Amino acid sequence: MSGQTLISGRGLSLSFGRVTALRNVDVDVWPGEMLAIVGESGSGKTTLLNVLAGRVSPDRGIVQYRDPEDTLHDVHAMPAPTLRTLHRSDWGFVHQDPRQNLRMAVSAGGNVGERLMARGARHYGNIRAQALDWLAQVEIDASRIDDLPRTFSGGMLQRLQIARTLVTHPRLVFMDEPTGGLDVSVQARLLDLIRSLVARLNIAAVLVTHDIAVARLLAQRIAVMQRGEIVETGLTDQVLDDPRHPYTQLLVSSVLTT
């Protein structure tokens, strides 16, 4: 298949004391696609996300990111400032708890504008206009632009985090359970939003979720993790409709259907 990967991990291993979090994991993400990483709690999926994003260093293995100039970077060999710049420009990170990403003492508009300013934008009018545009895209009313995030509901906070993350048009977004802990109706709205924004902006994403229905709706490809290993990977519908590994079969058969 043509095209080169945007980010690749090879032979990633990591132990926390006697606990193996990752065992020889290989993973690839191509531009514009969403890869879901599923598995139960403790399977290593969030650890893998953090290792790919350069937030946690592996004991062994390498993560390579291809920048827009087609240069490969070893994510864990990068100087810290370079990695920070990457996180502010090319990359985005959506946490399950939006409070980890948002600045709660700064207005909603300020939270969105801050990412632009960190990238060098200085014109106040432009920044505010873009913040307004992004609030609209994530369906937050313009009248709330000067309100503090603490006055927002859980679903609104999550949408604000997404606006803050996507305002710089990242090429790659890491998402850790972005719909976790939300009401089902709020979750549906957020799924719809993530799906349409990711498609329209041609963003690649790595999505960690324990909810395989979310993976099915959002991701083209899926990797199933168990005890720090990827036990099965492939097209999302293929893996979920025709699971081969015993653990994937267990995972799929455990889902409640309505």
Partner 1 sequence: MIPPVTQTPMLRTEALAKGFTLHLRDGLHIPVLAGVELTAYAGECVVLSGPSGAGKSTLMRALYGNYRADSGRILVRHRHAEIDIATADPRAILAVRHETLGYVSQFLRVVPRIPTLDVVAEVLTARGRSQEEARAAATAMLLRLNIPARLHGLPPATFSGGEQQRVNLARGFIAEHPILLLDEPTASLDAANRDVVVTMVREAKTRGAAIVAICHDAEVRDSIADRLFPLPPLQEAA
Q: What residues make contact with partner 1 under the rule CB under 8 A?
A: 1, 3, 30, 33, 188-189, 191-192, 195, 199, 216-217, 220-221, 234-235, 237-238, 241-242, 244-246, 249-250, 253
Residue with tokens 């199933």: 224
With residues binned 3-state (H G I as helix, E B as strand, rest as coil), the percentages for the chain, rounded to 5, are 40, 25, 35
Please give the structure tokens belonging to residue 191: 């799924």
Least distance to partner 1 from the beta carbon of 216, Å?
8
Least distance to partner 1 from the beta carbon of 87, Å?
27
Check: CB of residue 58 under 8 Å from CB of residue 48: no
- The beta strand positions in the chain, using DSSP E, are 7-16, 19-29, 34-38, 60-66, 72-74, 91-94, 172-176, 204-208, 221-226, 229-235
Q: Closer to partner 1 at the Cβ: 128 or 216?
A: 216
Of 15, 80, 12, residue with least CA distance to 48: 12
Q: Closer to partner 1 at the Cβ: 29 or 173?
A: 29
Check: CB of residue 165 under 8 Å from CB of residue 94: yes
Least distance to partner 1 from the beta carbon of 154, Å?
17
Q: Closer to partner 1 at the Cβ: 30 or 55?
A: 30
Q: Closer to partner 1 at the Cβ: 118 or 193?
A: 193
Q: Closer to partner 1 at the Cβ: 28 or 90?
A: 28
> Reduced to 3 states, what is the DSSP secondary structure of residue 174?
strand
Question: Distance (Å, rounded) from C-alpha 149 to C-alpha 162?
Answer: 13
Q: Closer to partner 1 at the Cβ: 126 or 220?
A: 220
Least distance to partner 1 from the beta carbon of 215, Å?
13
Least distance to partner 1 from the beta carbon of 191, Å?
6
Beta bridge partners of 94: 175
The Cα diameter of the chain in Å comes to: 56
Least distance to partner 1 from the beta carbon of 249, Å?
5
